[in-house]
Structure 1
């Protein structure tokens, strides 16, 4: 009973101070992201663009989301965050509307760059606002609820986007336009006061957030590798096409199921400790996907991998900001988005190279190596990054 009341109390804190508004914004951001990158690749393939160019154009989205996030930290100081998010949303929405109408390879690349750059303002902005409003003892569950809403929007739009694309090629691209424009509008109507980023203080923020950044990079690297290459891995294993959706779907379900419980537990047991445990579990669940040839077992390990890997994003975000003063949080969330974007950019490229050089079974070899490097780094640096005690 005591645990129930504690959970209820944390849930109340997790939605107080209008944090629920930012969860809705996260839902719309996920909806936009679930259309832009996957459907852009589909659109390019339908227009007979080669795989190499599709990979370059798709990766440019994450690359410039990373670059944009760093620029946000440098340029948005002493500016109203609501205005910065509005500008980023309008830029990304405009590029998204032009994308299905374009026919030139370089224009497609330029538009993806603009979309990644614009969305970075909203990603950094909403995560900064969220953790400025969050109490230290609920950072894990707050990050988990935000990631949960983001994932729901992403799944919904990625599933429905292909259906809408069959109806009209331009129609699904209207969804992220609406979603992106709604984000700053919702914030403006619910936060009447100006939300100013403070002047950037002197100090070594990177040293305080290094472990969280490793987690963000690891998550981006692994997530995009799974989404882009796991179906290819299964095709090479001679599974029928209908099985591919099941494998990815069960991974996503596992990710959703695992996120809130693990982030809630992290607020009680320690976020860094919980992050280490789930990354250690991820090593074994990913190995299970590779080792076992039985499809039912692969589905089980796909679910377990989702349940372990899914919470890495919110936990890494919580670890990134938990030791920061409020004026440092914009720098922390900017660096976090940068690390996530870089991991997402290079994950499929490096993993596909490993598959080409060493064989199909090496699809997750680099992911596993990064997991081990993370665990080794945390072990070596143990005690250097002390966390604030949770209540």
Structure 2
């Protein structure tokens, strides 16, 4: 009964969030394919796609001000409307500079809408239901992002129909959240920690966060270009991207629990090395045109690659003061956003020089660097401090971590008040 009550209390919010994930994932793949159809080079396409993550990074800083002044409902409506228009504007203005700007606007609006949904979810959840809400949130995230890839097959990417479909879904995402009866939370800007302080707490955690931003954004942005260039059909391209995203959901909890039981850095090394190894498998399968093997490697790739950020985040929380979890979370979001803004640009430049396999050569380089750095740190500083709880992260990188950090800070303050009394 309590489970059903928990689901019912957040159903409308998760519906809006799921629709956002569906449309955003579908449009990201569409824009990458359409860029190639329009004759943009791989390097230029990478810069265009990086605009989304730059916009999200700016949104993390400034969208909260819009929400604070206009309120959650009006802000969400404004973000969704602007995003819907920006999607359609890509068809009207076919220019790489314009597309970069539109992509940045889309990222900014997406950051604002995700922040609104998450703060509302946090308002509606309690200590008794928070675990269920987090699980539902994670499932919605990956299922939405993964299933959105299959919408690419509805029409040809060289027509306007798919842009209209994405715009329609973004607009429909307004409906559930506008009809919700959930209490509107009070917006608050997270305190930020200096990057230097964050590095002092855990160089491995910060490096893992940066590497996650560098690799995840590159795959999300340039993955469709890789798939198209190696000769996959439209349906196979959507399956390629979907298997990576859905694979990301499979190992979050098993790997997370292992990192709770053993030295988290050891599990991080395994995940980084496994990501590099499977990246090599993807290159091999692509060169040999073993499609089924390619998809199998993609599932495994997503499973390991998407655990690097939550483990890195947990590693920082292991070593951070418990009364600074919100600041740590904001600092990690900045680190991830910085890496995500750079990733598509660097990966596209490498792909332009060495071909489509350059995407996974880039991933191999990043993850091997992380593995080597982590091995060095394990030798320099043995584990021994009490661990924070591992919590999974969504496909955008910051999602459930932001939800968790607020909760953790509130719980800590409540316990502190009780102890003081």
TM-score (norm 1): 0.71
Aligned twin of 1:279 = 272
The 8 Å contact of residues 14 and 138 in structure 1, kept in 2 or not, is answered as no
Aligned twin of 2:345 = 349
Is 1:172 the counterpart of 2:174? The answer is: no
Aligned twin of 2:244 = 251
Pair 184,240 (structure 1): closer, same or farther in 2 beyond 3 Å: closer
Aligned twin of 1:115 = 106
Is 1:269 the counterpart of 2:257? The answer is: no
The 8 Å contact of residues 77 and 198 in structure 1, kept in 2 or not, is answered as no
Q: How far has the Cα of 1:70 moved from its partner? A: 2.7
Q: How far has the Cα of 1:327 moved from its partner? A: 8.4
Aligned match for 2:59, one of 55, 65, 68:
68
Deviates more, 1:222-231 or 1:316-325: 316-325
Separation in structure 1 between the aligned mates of residue 213 and residue 280 of structure 2, nearest angstrom: 19
Aligned twin of 1:368 = 364
Pair 218,52 (structure 1): closer, same or farther in 2 beyond 3 Å: closer
Separation in structure 1 between the aligned mates of residue 32 and residue 61 of structure 2, nearest angstrom: 26
The 8 Å contact of residues 58 and 112 in structure 1, kept in 2 or not, is answered as yes
Separation in structure 2 between the aligned mates of residue 105 and residue 253 of structure 1, nearest angstrom: 30
Q: Which 5+ residue runs of structure 2 have no aligned equivalent?
A: 391-421
Is 1:192 the counterpart of 2:183? The answer is: yes
Separation in structure 1 between the aligned mates of residue 279 and residue 345 of structure 2, nearest angstrom: 19
Deviates more, 1:156-165 or 1:31-40: 156-165
The within-5 A match list for 1:1-391 is 12=3, 15=6, 18=9, 22-47=13-38, 49=40, 51-72=42-63, 84-103=75-94, 106-127=97-118, 130=121, 133=125, 145-164=136-155, 168=161, 170-182=163-175, 184-185=177-178, 189-197=180-188, 200=191, 206=198, 214-227=207-220, 229=222, 247-263=240-256, 265=257, 269=261, 272=264, 275=268, 277-290=270-283, 295=290, 297-312=293-308, 329=326, 331=327, 334-357=330-353, 362-375=358-371, 376-377=373-374, 379=378, 383=383, 387-388=387-388
Pair 232,307 (structure 1): closer, same or farther in 2 beyond 3 Å: same
Separation in structure 2 between the aligned mates of residue 121 and residue 28 of structure 1, nearest angstrom: 15
Q: How far has the Cα of 1:198 moved from its partner? A: 6.6
The 8 Å contact of residues 69 and 335 in structure 1, kept in 2 or not, is answered as no
For each residue in 1:94-139, what CA deviation from the matched residue of structure 2 results, as whole angstroms up to 9, or x when unmatched? 3234333335554433322211111111233444555675759977
Separation in structure 1 between the aligned mates of residue 64 and residue 198 of structure 2, nearest angstrom: 13
Say which SS state the counterpart of residue 364 (structure 1) adopts: helix
Separation in structure 2 between the aligned mates of residue 238 and residue 55 of structure 1, nearest angstrom: 19
Q: How far has the Cα of 1:175 moved from its partner? A: 3.0
The 8 Å contact of residues 64 and 116 in structure 1, kept in 2 or not, is answered as yes
Pair 148,216 (structure 1): closer, same or farther in 2 beyond 3 Å: farther
Deviates more, 1:287-296 or 1:106-115: 287-296
For each residue in 1:34-93, what CA deviation from the matched residue of structure 2 results, as whole angstroms up to 9, or x when unmatched? 133222344455555555544332221211211221334677679955555444334323
Separation in structure 2 between the aligned mates of residue 137 and residue 146 of structure 1, nearest angstrom: 12
Q: How far has the Cα of 1:30 moved from its partner? A: 0.8
Separation in structure 2 between the aligned mates of residue 347 and residue 14 of structure 1, nearest angstrom: 41
TM-score (norm 2): 0.67
